[in-house]
Amino acid sequence: MGLAGAAWGGYSLLGRASVTPLVDTARSFLWASPLAIAVSLLNRSDMSLSRSGLVLALVSGVVTSGIGYAIWYSALARLTRTRAAAVQLLVPVLAALGGVVILNESPSARLAIAAVMILGGVGLVLATRANLTNAPTAASNRTQS
């Protein structure tokens, strides 16, 4: 998971310069496909393929993830690095909320505590960052005196 987080951070930093998020995301998917296929082939003894399963996997992986990544690339252009890092931490909370609302999963105290901790951490980062940005510097205080 640490490696995945670092990769996502690198992907996001590279995406900040994207002027064609959909094209760049498609290119990323194409470059990642050989590795995904190779890993799948290594585990083929545990694999069971069906036409509907393959279609659902492609729709889930290519269409919905691709669109999500393209939207993320588009949003990155308008976010600072710190804000982007904090905002992407909201993904697990949104996914859990989607599970509760859309899939009728049972909310738990553990989920609520985790969500509050994540939201609190993101709030602290964004509030601290806003305070640092709006805080007067020592030099500007001397010129105002």
Span 99-121, pLDDT tens digits: 999 999 999 999 999 999 999 98
Say what the pLDDT of residue 13 is: 79
Whether 57 and 33 have beta carbons less than 8 Å apart is answered as no
- Check: CB of residue 120 under 8 Å from CB of residue 74: no
Which domain-ending residue is among 78, 95, 126?
A: 78
Question: C-alpha angle with apex 28: 20 to 8, nearest 5 degrees?
Answer: 100
In a domain, 21, yes or no: yes
Residue 137 pLDDT? 57
Same domain, 14 and 74: yes
Q: Which residue range is the domain that position 65 belongs to?
A: 6-78
| Average pLDDT in the chain | 82
pLDDT of residue 26: 82
96 or 145, which is more confident?
Answer: 96
pTM of the predicted model, to two decimals?
0.57
Q: What is the mean pLDDT of residues 109-136?
A: 84
Is 101 within the bounds of a domain?
Answer: yes
Q: Which is more confident, 133 or 49?
A: 49
Both 28 and 11 in one domain: the answer is: yes
Per-residue pLDDT tens digits for 23-68: 887 888 888 889 888 988 888 787 788 899 889 988 888 788 878 8
> What is the predicted pLDDT for the residue at 133?
67
CA dihedral 60, 33, 14, 72 (to 10 degrees): -10
